[in-house]
Amino acid sequence: MSEQKDLEYAILGGGCFWCVEAIYQLVDGVESIVSGYAGGHDPAPNYRSICTGLTGHAEVIRVGFDPSKISYKNILEIFWEAHDPTTRNKQGNDEGPQYRSIILYENQTQKEIAEASRTEAGPKFASPIVTEIVALEKFFPAENYHQNYFRLNPEQPYCHYVIRPKIEKFLKKKTH
């Protein structure tokens, strides 16, 4: 495990944070993942408030990665495969602005890499990518019960019927 000071971070929203978290837990070089909220105007968001769709926040994950093992660009390549970036405010049955596709960058370099990555990913999809790329103002960690959700609750129906197929699809692509 890398020391915290060696990590870089990517803040990504691709629908339910449980789904995206479960994918990145399988990625070599990812050292930490925190589910949370970002991109909104509420100064103290929580799960109940963001579920209203009125706080402006998206469900996101903060991926801490070792840049000597995986690049920000590679983190984003996985992001495009981990969800459908062509549906506005919707992933599967999850609907609302809290489920939007979003990349929140921490600096100009991340912004440029994210924009180039979105352009490069575009031709892989039948519909236009609607992913927002915006500056990170603040990341708010989600409540403890949202952390490491799939691994702690693999037989919960949402995990079994929604997350598990996404993981299987990701693993199949990864081995080809």
Options 16, 19, 51, 159, the catalytic residue: 16
Residue with tokens 């991340």: 110
Partners of residue 132 on adjacent β-strands: 102
What values do phi and psi take at 46, rounded to 5? -145, 170
**Which helix or strand (DSSP H or E) is residue 55 part of?**
none
Number of neighbours of residue 10 by Cβ within 10 angstroms: 26
Backbone dihedral region for residue 56 (phi beyond 0: left; psi -120 to 50: alpha; all else: beta): left
Q: Is 16 a catalytic residue?
A: yes
Contact in structure between 23 and 82 (CB atoms under 8 Å): yes
Up-side HSE of residue 128: CA atoms within 13 Å toward CB? 3
**Residues labelled as active-site residues:** 16
